[in-house]
């Protein structure tokens, strides 16, 4: 862990609860070992409005690091992605000029690791890394879940993916459902073009 932190920075924030480390003690100790300069983005408070309790949260995070399916990791990744986007929006708002100022404000609370992946990466990259999948897979799952909200057929396929445990159904996969979503999008585009008046 220490080698990775020295090379790439702290990729996964340390979660705190009531002022104590809830998840990430090993990461914290590894950071201390390599004299890592912490920033405020390296820590996050456990969200008490979350539907799971702190102890279940630790269990889930440990499971993520071991034996969840790609679909399960991606579903959790969407939760992480929402948090990362909120952080990015907050940073963007802080950089906007205040009343009477003409220029964007420099980033605050950035240590010597400001060039690390954590500081430079986009929300999708960060979320994907945290749950151990590639960004393209997380992007596909986000599109699938969005489509499932309005398309009953895609919703049915998502429900099947949700039921898949350690024995995956070869007939259904993230890629097959994503391809179905893309085909439907193209069909919709074609319909719109045909409906448009010629002149």
User: Do 47 and 102 belong together in one domain?
Assistant: yes
My answer on whether 91 and 160 are in the same domain is no
Are residue 142 and residue 197 in the same domain, yes or no? Answer: yes
State the residue for tokens 């719109």.
Answer: 192
Residues 14 and 105 in one domain: yes
Q: Which domain holds residue 157?
A: 134-199
| Rg, C-alpha atoms of the chain | 21
Q: Which of 89, 121, 95, 122 is nearest to 108 (CA)?
A: 95
Q: Which letter does DSSP use for residue 171 in this model?
A: T
| pLDDT at residue 12 is higher than 60 | yes
Domain limit, last residue, from 84, 114, 132: 132
CB 27 within 8 A of CB 13: no
Of 84, 112, 132, the residue that ends a domain is 132
Element (H, E) at 20: strand 20-23
Q: What is the number of domains present in the chain?
A: 2
Q: What is the pTM of this model?
A: 0.58
Does residue 94 sit in the same domain as residue 168? Answer: no
Structure tokens at 22: 């809830």
**Is 108 within 8 Å of 97 (Cβ atoms)?**
no
Shared domain check, 128 and 43: yes
Asked if residue 32 and residue 76 are part of one domain, the reply reads yes
Kindly state whether residues 125 and 155 are assigned to the same domain: no
Distance of alpha carbon 34 from alpha carbon 8, whole angstroms: 12
112 and 49 fall within a common domain: yes
80 band by pLDDT with thresholds 50, 70 and 90: confident
Using an 8 Å Cβ cutoff, are 44 and 83 in contact?
yes
- What is the predicted pLDDT for the residue at 38? 92
pLDDT of res. 167: 58
């Amino acid at each position: 862990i220490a080698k990775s932190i020295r090379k790439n920075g702290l990729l996964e924030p340390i979660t705190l609860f009531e002022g104590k480390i809830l998840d990430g003690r090993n990461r914290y100790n590894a950071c201390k070992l390599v004299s890592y300069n912490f920033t405020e983005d390296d820590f996050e408070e456990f969200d008490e409005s979350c539907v799971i309790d702190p102890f279940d949260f630790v269990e889930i995070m440990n499971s993520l690091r071991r034996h969840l399916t790609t679909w399960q990791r991606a579903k959790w990744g969407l939760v992480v992605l929402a948090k990362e986007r909120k952080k990015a929006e907050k940073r963007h708002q802080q950089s906007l000029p205040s009343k009477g100022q003409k220029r964007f404000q420099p980033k605050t609370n950035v240590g010597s690791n400001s060039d690390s992946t954590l500081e430079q990466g986009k929300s999708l990259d960060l979320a994907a890394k945290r749950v151990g999948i590639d960004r393209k897979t997380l992007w596909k799952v986000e599109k699938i879940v969005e489509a499932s909200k309005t398309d009953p057929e895609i919703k049915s396929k998502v429900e099947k993916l949700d039921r898949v445990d350690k024995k995956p159904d070869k007939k259904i996969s993230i890629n097959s459902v994503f391809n179905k979503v893309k085909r439907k999008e193209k069909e919709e585009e074609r319909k719109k073009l045909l409906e448009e008046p010629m002149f």
